[in-house]
Structure 1
Amino acid sequence: MLLLQGIAWIFTPGNWVSVNSGLGIGGEIAAHLLLTFQSLLVAIVVAVPIGLAIGHTGRGRGIAILAGNVVRAFPTLGLLSILLIGLGAGVLVPVAVFSLLGIPPLLAGAYAGLESIDRQTIDAARATGMTEWQILRKVEIPLAAPLLLGGLRSSTLQIIATVALVSEFGYDSLGQFIIAGAATQDYVQMVGGSILVTALALLADAILALAQRLTVPRGVPRGLGGRSTARGRRVLTAPSGAPISEGN
């Protein structure tokens, strides 16, 4: 069975050192994770401050949703092709493209997380004399942490799964095994590479799911639920942690 052969290929010690005179499984995993981390870091730096500003002020939500939908419509492989041909090879191009994929979930998680906080909590913090920055830092961000991590979780999964495409252009990633296997009709290697990408994504998801669960403040229900928000909306959280908003 091809699936079992793919698993056996993964656990072959020699394949962790070198495959077809190239990097082995260990090297490709490291390259895949490095590109994922770089892309995710850029997405966090761009999306989280904007999302927090939108959630705190209640302004710009419509623009954020529109921008997120536009970014999601970009064909990743086509965008990589255009930019790499036009700008030349370099790590900045794939990082920029993959970070675009990670921005919408992070942005939505940030502003939905703040909007999910009960208005009375914010008013009480303001009544004690806390500044807007203190409210954001000491009240809103801690309470919004589960949805923030839900956005990070979705963003990480999308980037890990898509980074494999970069091997089509000669970059190292776990996609190298899939592409090389297709070129040489080595289907065992293709299946092994696919299993590795899937396993890496599931492992990252499990770690972030645990972190998301641990950040739920005491007294707040876990799992699928909802609360009236500061803006008059009700925000539901799916098991994956993705925010689902019900508008007015």
Structure 2
Amino acid sequence: MSLFSYLLDPANWGPNGIITKLLLQHLYYTIAAVLIAAVIAIPVGIVVGHTGRGSYLVVGVSNSARAIPSLGLLVLAVLALGTSSGPIIGVLAILALPSILTGTAVGIQNADHEAVHAARALGMTGGQIVGKVEWPLALPLVISGLRVATLQVVATATVAGFAAGGGLGQLLISGQATQNYSQMFAGAVLVAALAIFFDLALGLLGWFAARKTHPRAKTRVRRQPQPT
């Protein structure tokens, strides 16, 4: 049996195909978890970065969240709250928080101090400084935090299969149980392809944000007078 047989089988694709169903479920887990984490982490990161207060809290939360065992937390959430998508998305959102929170706080805090001082000298309020100066300058780092968080969630959502939560990890679990290596291969390839897609998309978005925020200085080359 070819390793590609399960992946290339048309019956596994289409509206009722198992691959389509699990892929969409994996995408739903990823997007929902990252959005929830962003809604919480970005405002907190802006406040911390702008005021300079709570930096130690950010570091503590980030380190604590990264130390949480993903599989154990997922299994605990499923046992306590059931196999619905809510507990799984909640756990994934918790795991996505540190990267987004850190990226936002560091980006705001490290915004060009001269630009911030100039904005204050012009009489801008704190909200105006954040919206017109600090946020645009911090955007590349914010996107970088979102990028790291998204890749982590894509990988961790695979573990949801172990907790009977579906997603592409289900292909790995079912394939291992039935010794269907083609199915396991399909699951691994799809998870990797999804991670590469998000990495490239968010990396490109971050590149555009960086170019817009820090455009290359254009230097004009003056013509030297020709000797007569």
Q: What's the TM-score once normalised by structure 2's chain length?
A: 0.89
CA gap 1:8/1:92 in 2 versus in 1, 3 angstroms: same
What residue number does 1:9 align with? 6
Mapped partners of 1:94, 1:218: distance in 2: 36
Query: Which structure 2 residue ranges, 5 or more long, are not aligned?
Result: 217-228
The RMSD of aligned alpha carbons is 1.9
Match of 1:206 in 2: 200
> What do the CA deviations read for 1:49-82 (whole angstroms, capped 9, x no partner)?
1111111011111111011101111101111112
Paired amino acid for 2:128: Q
Matched residue of 1:215: which SS? helix
The structure with more helix, counted as a fraction of residues:
2
Distance 1:86 1:218, change over 3 A: closer
Residues in 1 aligned to 2:96 and 2:213: alpha-carbon distance in whole angstroms: 30
Deviation at 1:129, TM superposition (A): 1.2
Correspondence 1:71 to 2:68: no
Alignment match, 2:145: 151
Structure 1, unmatched stretches of 5+, are 223-248
Change (3 A) 1:90 1:219: closer
Q: Note if 1:119 corresponds to 2:116.
A: no
Larger radius of gyration: 2
Q: Specify the alignment match of 2:160 in structure 1.
A: 166
Runs of 4+ with >6 A deviation? none
Question: Could you tell me how far apart the structure 2 residues matched to 1:180 and 1:85 are?
Answer: 20
Deviations 1:58-116 (A, max 9, x none): 11111110111011111011111122212333222111110011000000110111122
Structure with the higher strand share, 1 or 2: 1
What CA distance in whole angstroms lies between the structure 2 residues aligned with 1:176 and 1:17? 18
Counterparts of 1:87 and 1:117, CA distance in 2: 42
Identical-pair percentage: 38
What TM-score, normalized to structure 1? 0.82
Q: CA deviation at 1:192?
A: 1.2
Mapped to 2, the partners of 1:218 and 1:103 lie a distance apart of: 26
Q: Is the 8 A contact 1:47 1:107 kept in 2?
A: yes
Which residue in the other structure is 1:183 paired with?
177
Query: How has the CA–CA distance of structure 1 residues 87 and 146 changed in structure 2, closer, same or farther, with 3 Å as cutoff?
Result: same
